Amino acid sequence: MAKIKVIVNGAAGKMGLETVKAISNADDLDLAGVCDVTLVDAPIKDLVKEVKNDLKIQKSLTELIKSTKAQVVVDFTHPHSALENVKAILENGAHAVVGTTGLSMDNLEEIKKACSKNNVNCIVAPNFAIGAVLMMKFSKEAARYMPEVEIIEMHHDQKADAPSGTAIKTAELILSEINEVKRPDIKEIEKVKGVRGGSLGGINIHSVRLKGYVASQEVIFGGLGQTLKIRHDSINRASFMPGVVLAIREVTKVKGLVYGLENLM
C-alpha cells in the first residue's frame, strides 16, 4: 500500500516538531515536506532526529504542495493565519488536518464551502488528545443530569487565543444537550472586572495562562449538595499525536468538513 504523503505547516513550532516526529515514526505515512515562516532552509533532521531524509523548511506552502503533490497538509500555525492557510491547502488540491485554534463558526462555513468547491476534505479538531475528546463526551452526558456548569481551561503562557478551542467545543457540546444553562437569579457584582470569566450560552469559561502548563481543562458541575469534576491534563505534546495520526489517515476517507475528533472515534 502506498504511503500517504504529508506536509507539516508550522513545522518549526512545538506542535509542528511533534507532528514531524510522529509522521516519521508511522510506517504508512511519508513526510513529503515541511513549511514554516521561521528557520527557512534549515534541515528538519537537525531539529527532529527521527527524520531520515534531507528535507529543508520551506516558506511557501502553495509551492510546496505543488512540488511534492502531497495528499494531506497538517496545519499547526497561528490563529491569525489559520483560515488563509487552510484555504491555500484546499485550493491547491490537498486535504487539511487543522489543529490551529481560533477559527470561528463563520470561518468553518468558509472552509466547508472550499472543501465542496475543490472536492477535498478537512478535519478541524480543537483538541487531538484522545483523553480530551473523552472529557468532552463525558461532560455532554453529565450535563443532562447536572446542568449547572463552569469550565476552567489552563494553558502555557504562549498560547495566543482565549478561551481555548477545547473549552469552546466543550461548551457547544453541553449546549447541544441541554440548550441553556440556568443560573441563579442574583445580581452579581464583579469587584475585579472579568473575574467571573467569559460566558458562552450561559456557561462561564475561565482561562489560565501560566508557565508549566501544556493543556489542561476542568469541567465543574454543581448540584444539590454535590459537585462533579471532569478533568483532562496533557502532560506533554506527545499526547496529541495519536489523534493527529488518526486524522491524517482518515481525512482522505471523510466527506467535506469534519469538526471535532470525536466524529472519527
Q: Does the annotation count 232 as an active-site position?
A: no
Q: Which of 155, 169, 206, 232 is catalytic?
A: 155
In a shared domain, residues 101 and 174: no
| Same-domain status, 148 and 212 | yes
| 108 and 135, same domain (yes or no) | no
Query: Both 175 and 99 in a single domain?
Result: no
Answer yes or no: are the C-beta atoms of 46 and 52 closer than 8 Å: no
**Domain co-membership, 12 together with 60:** yes
Answer yes or no: do 116 and 186 share one domain: no
Q: What element of type H or E holds 62?
A: helix 61-68
Of the residues 14, 56, 113, 159, only one is catalytic, namely: 159
Are residues 134 and 103 part of one domain? no
Q: Which long-range contacts (CB under 8 A, 24 or more apart) does 253-256 make?
A: 254/121, 254/123, 255/121, 256/112, 256/115, 256/116, 256/121, 256/122
**From the centroid of its chain, how far is CA 44?**
23
Length in residues, the chain: 265
Predicted local distance difference test score (pLDDT) of residue 221: 97
Q: Which amino acid is at 168?
A: I
Domain count, the chain: 2
What is the C-alpha separation between 259 and 135, in angstroms, rounded?
16
What range does the domain containing 185 cover?
130-234
Query: What's 3's DSSP letter?
Result: P
**Core vs surface per residue 230-259: b (16+ CB within 10 A) or e:** bebbbeebebbbebbbbbbbbbeebeebbb
pTM of the predicted structure, to 2 decimals: 0.86
Rounded to the nearest 5 degrees, what angle is found at the Cα of 26, between the Cα atoms of 130 and 60? 95
Based on the domain organization, do 39 and 61 belong to the same domain? yes
Could you write out the three-class secondary structure of 186-238?
CCCCCCCCCCCCEEECCEEEEEEECCCCCEEEEEEEEECCEEEEEEEEECCHH
Q: For residue 224, what is the domain's CATH number?
A: 3.30.360.10
In a shared domain, residues 76 and 145: no
Q: What is the pLDDT along the chain (265 residues), one digit of tens a residue?
A: 789 999 999 999 999 999 999 999 999 999 999 999 999 999 999 999 999 889 999 999 999 999 999 999 999 999 999 999 999 999 999 999 999 988 999 999 999 999 999 999 999 999 999 999 999 999 999 999 999 999 999 999 999 899 999 999 999 999 999 977 767 777 888 889 999 999 999 999 999 999 999 999 999 999 999 999 999 999 999 999 999 999 999 999 999 999 999 999 8
C-alpha cell at 225: 449538595
Distance of CA 122 to the CA centre of its chain: 12
**What is residue 250's three-state secondary structure?**
helix
Q: What does the alpha-carbon distance between residue 237 and residue 91 come to, in Å, rounded to a whole number? A: 30
Q: Which three cell numbers stand for residue 146?
A: 447536572
Q: What is the CATH number of the domain that holds 79?
A: 3.40.50.720
Contact indicator for 129, 232 with CB cutoff of 8 Å: yes
The verdict on whether 159 is a catalytic residue reads yes
Integer Cα distance of 31 and 121 in angstroms: 19
Considering the domain architecture, whether residues 64 and 163 belong to the same structural domain is answered as: no
The whole-angstrom separation of Cα 95 and Cα 7 is 10
222 in the same domain as 158: yes
Do 9 and 109 sit in the same domain of this protein?
yes
